[in-house]
Amino acid sequence: MRLRADRERCCGSGMCALTAPRLFDQDEETGLVVLLDPAPPPGDHEAARLAILACPSGAITESEPT
């Protein structure tokens, strides 16, 4: 799994950081998504997918590792 967070698309709701705090945070100044781990270990894949679903702006996407 490879994660990508589009800060231009992010609306700052914080659902990603609430859903998967080991993978996402929010910028203190702007409130926008900060991706902490673009290649999470298998144990965090479920939380990552839940964060993707919870993101109201669709700023977080998943792809296969290259």
* Tens-digit pLDDT profile for residues 48-57: 999 999 999 9
CA 2 to chain centre: 11
Tell me, yes or no, whether 66 lies in a domain. no
Tell me, yes or no, whether 23 lies in a domain. yes
Q: What CATH number did the domain enclosing 27 receive?
A: 3.30.70.20
* Tens-digit pLDDT profile for residues 20-65: 999 999 999 999 999 999 999 999 999 999 999 999 999 999 998 7
Two structure tokens written together for 35: 């991706």
Number of domains present in the structure of the chain: 1
CB within 8 Å of 21: residues ≥ 6 apart: none
pTM > 0.75: yes
Which range marks the domain in which residue 24 is found? 2-57
Tell me, yes or no, whether 64 lies in a domain. no
Tell me, yes or no, whether 26 lies in a domain. yes
